[in-house]
């Protein structure tokens, strides 16, 4: 049994790991280390309710003082770990070498940036609490023209929030249809219409050429020659796992920390959340997810793996699930969909804002998309957990369509 467990990454996955250890009866020392100055906080509201001012930073917090005391956590914020060595079971933190008995890697991911934007004011990414505060302040300063680069879920959420402020906002997306790489073109067009119906401008099938403005952004020049006026730009083009501190550590790093089916990356070391890539038994391949639900559940599973013998360890093989709030729609996706999947619309009620569609591949149900249809999402998710065939899913759909 380990006498102490170190969690690097004061994230949702890190907090859930600590909670799971105490719930399982672990009585040793738990250290929680994070590079941000803030105590761990929830990230989904940063592009939605917190950005629009409906939630305070206090309500974002994942750990109160009482909770820290209850969990007997040794927390160290504003401290960046580096130079992990799995052979000596040490890492560096603020220039000092520190040993560990067992380790949870939960360092998450960071927003990708476009080149040559660091010195231009008004160009933002959205990943942290400080990012969200800066963007919110810019939304409230005058009546800015906003350009969102990237029509993924984060970009669409930010655009919806900006539009709710009455701000003129344009999404620039390199694909012909936003979200088509995740949802397919037909469902992507449903989300596109939601935005255009609410006043958001879409520029699709075109990339950014350059940003105009020397010190402060003034516009976005697209490769088709279009010049969009812009006082504020938010870049939402995906995220990169925070693995630089693990170079030369002895771990396998390939777009994340590579783990086995149980989340074990090396003896006495596990990974969880956005930074973790693991062998998913259900999908027969290695995957990495950037979902809130996965970070929470994998944080628990990975932490408990450290308390188990190899013979006791169970694979981590959930049906992925996430949601996105845009305007008055709750968009939910369970499973993993891919371009080229079989696709069937079950419910399409634009006047009610309700929509359900399912995805299949190789004769199996693979995913379900629901817009304001949470019950349908959970029903089809249950079918996926039962490994339902595509025909069984279609038969079930006849009774609810």
- 209-263 pLDDT, tens digit each: 999 998 999 999 999 999 999 999 999 999 999 999 999 999 999 999 999 999 9
81 and 103 co-located in one domain = yes
19 and 95 co-located in one domain = yes
Find the CATH number of the domain harbouring 190.
3.50.50.60
206 and 264 co-located in one domain = no
Using CA atoms, how far apart are residues 180 and 359, in angstroms rounded to an integer?
Answer: 13
Using CA atoms, how far apart are residues 109 and 114, in angstroms rounded to an integer?
Answer: 16
* pLDDT computed for residue 283 by the predictor: 92
105 and 122 co-located in one domain = no
* pLDDT computed for residue 143 by the predictor: 87
Q: What is the pLDDT of residues 20-55, one digit of tens each?
A: 999 999 999 999 999 999 999 999 999 999 999 999
Write down which residue in 210, 235, 260 finishes a domain.
Answer: 235
Mean pLDDT of 258-280: 98
- The answer to whether 380 touches 358, Cβ cutoff 8 Å, is yes
Q: Is the residue at 209 inside a domain?
A: yes
- The answer to whether 151 touches 194, Cβ cutoff 8 Å, is no
Q: Is the residue at 310 inside a domain?
A: no
Write down which residue in 209, 235, 261 finishes a domain.
Answer: 235
Q: Is the residue at 311 inside a domain?
A: no
99 and 162 co-located in one domain = no
Q: What is the pLDDT of residues 109-149, one digit of tens each?
A: 999 999 888 889 999 999 999 999 999 999 998 889 999 99
145 and 162 co-located in one domain = yes
Number of domain units in the chain: 3
Find the CATH number of the domain harbouring 394.
3.30.390.30
Angle at 225 between CA 152 and CA 238, to 5 degrees: 20
Q: Is the residue at 317 inside a domain?
A: no
Write down which residue in 235, 261, 280 finishes a domain.
Answer: 235
* pLDDT computed for residue 356 by the predictor: 98
What confidence tier does 293 reach under pLDDT thresholds 50, 70, 90?
very high
* pLDDT computed for residue 351 by the predictor: 83
Instruction: Note down the domain range covering 58.
Output: 4-110+240-305
272 and 198 co-located in one domain = no
Angle separating helix axes 12-23 and 292-305, nearest 10 degrees? 40
- The tokens describing 350, both together, are 């634009």
Q: What is the pLDDT of residues 318-344, one digit of tens each?
A: 999 999 999 999 999 999 998 889 999
Residue 397 has pLDDT above 80, yes or no: yes
Using CA atoms, how far apart are residues 141 and 298, in angstroms rounded to an integer?
Answer: 40
211 and 132 co-located in one domain = yes
- The answer to whether 79 touches 33, Cβ cutoff 8 Å, is yes
Q: Is the residue at 39 inside a domain?
A: yes
* pLDDT computed for residue 80 by the predictor: 96
Residue 382 has pLDDT above 70, yes or no: yes
248 and 180 co-located in one domain = no
Q: Is the residue at 75 inside a domain?
A: yes
Q: What is the 3-state secondary structure (H, E, C) of the chain?
A: CCCEEEEECCCHHHHHHHHHHHHCCCCCEEEEECCCCCCCECCHHHHCCCCCCCCCHHHHECCCHHHHHHHCEEEECCCCEEEEECCCCEEEECCEEEECCCEEECCCEEECCCCCCCCCECEEECCCHHHHHHHHHHHCCCCCEEEEECCCHHHHHHHHHHHHCCCEEEEEECCCCCCHHHHCHHHHHHHHHHHHHCCCEEEECCCEEEEECCCECCEEEECCCCEEECCEEEECCCEEECCHHHCCCCCCECCCEEECCCCEEECCEEECHHHEEEEECCCCEEECCCCHHHHHHHHHHHHHHCCCCCCCCCCCCCCCEEEEEECCEEEEEEECCCCCCEEEEEEEEHHHCEEEEEEEECCEEEEEEEECCHHHHHHHHHHHHCCCEHHHHHHHHHCCC
Q: Is the residue at 323 inside a domain?
A: no
What confidence tier does 1 reach under pLDDT thresholds 50, 70, 90?
confident
Q: Is the residue at 382 inside a domain?
A: yes
What confidence tier does 62 reach under pLDDT thresholds 50, 70, 90?
very high
pTM of the model: 0.96
- Other beta carbons within 10 angstroms of residue 218's beta carbon come to 16
Residue 165 has pLDDT above 70, yes or no: yes
288 and 374 co-located in one domain = no
282 and 299 co-located in one domain = yes
Angle separating helix axes 185-197 and 153-164, nearest 10 degrees? 20
Angle separating helix axes 374-385 and 390-398, nearest 10 degrees? 150
* pLDDT computed for residue 350 by the predictor: 86
153 and 207 co-located in one domain = yes
- Other beta carbons within 10 angstroms of residue 78's beta carbon come to 12
* pLDDT computed for residue 401 by the predictor: 60
């Amino acid at each position: 049994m380990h006498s102490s467990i170190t969690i690097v990454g004061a994230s949702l996955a890190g907090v859930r790991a600590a909670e799971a250890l105490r719930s399982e009866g672990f009585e040793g020392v738990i250290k929680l280390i994070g590079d941000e100055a803030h105590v761990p906080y929830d990230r989904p509201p940063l592009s939605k309710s917190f950005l629009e001012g409906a939630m305070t930073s206090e309500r974002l917090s994942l750990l109160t003082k009482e909770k820290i005391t209850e969990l007997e956590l040794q927390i160290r914020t504003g401290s960046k770990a580096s130079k992990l060595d799995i052979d000596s079971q040490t890492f560096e933190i603020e220039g000092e070498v520190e040993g560990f008995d067992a380790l949870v890697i939960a360092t998450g991911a960071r927003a990708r940036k476009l080149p040559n934007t660091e010195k231009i004011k008004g160009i933002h990414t959205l990943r942290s609490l400080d990012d969200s505060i800066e963007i919110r302040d810019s939304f409230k300063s005058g009546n800015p023209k906003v350009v969102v680069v990237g029509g993924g879920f984060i970009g669409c959420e930010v655009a919806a929030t900006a539009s709710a402020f009455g701000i003129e906002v344009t999404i620039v997306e390199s694909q012909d249809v936003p979200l088509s790489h995740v949802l397919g073109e037909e469902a992507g067009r449903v989300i596109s219409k939601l935005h255009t119906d609410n006043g958001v401008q879409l520029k699709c099938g075109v990339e950014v050429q350059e940003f105009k403005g020397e010190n402060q952004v003034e516009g976005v020049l697209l490769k088709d020659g279009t010049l969009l006026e812009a006082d504020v730009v938010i870049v939402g083009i995906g995220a990169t796992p925070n693995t630089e501190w693990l170079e030369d550590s002895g771990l396998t790093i390939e777009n994340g920390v590579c783990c086995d089916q149980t989340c074990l990356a090396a003896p006495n070391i596990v990974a969880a959340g956005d930074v973790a890539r693991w062998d998913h038994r259900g999908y027969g391949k290695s995957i990495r997810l950037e979902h809130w639900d996965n970070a929470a559940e994998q944080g628990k599973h990975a932490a408990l793996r450290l308390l188990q013998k190899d013979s006791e360890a169970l694979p981590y093989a959930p049906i992925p699930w996430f949601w996105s709030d845009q305007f008055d729609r709750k968009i939910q996706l369970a499973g993993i969909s891919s371009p080229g999947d079989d696709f069937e619309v079950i419910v399409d009620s634009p006047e009610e804002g309700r929509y359900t569609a399912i995805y299949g591949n190789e004769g199996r149900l693979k995913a379900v998309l629901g817009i304001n249809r949470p019950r349908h999402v959970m029903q089809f998710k249950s079918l996926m957990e039962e490994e339902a065939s595509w025909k069984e899913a279609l038969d079930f759909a006849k009774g609810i369509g």
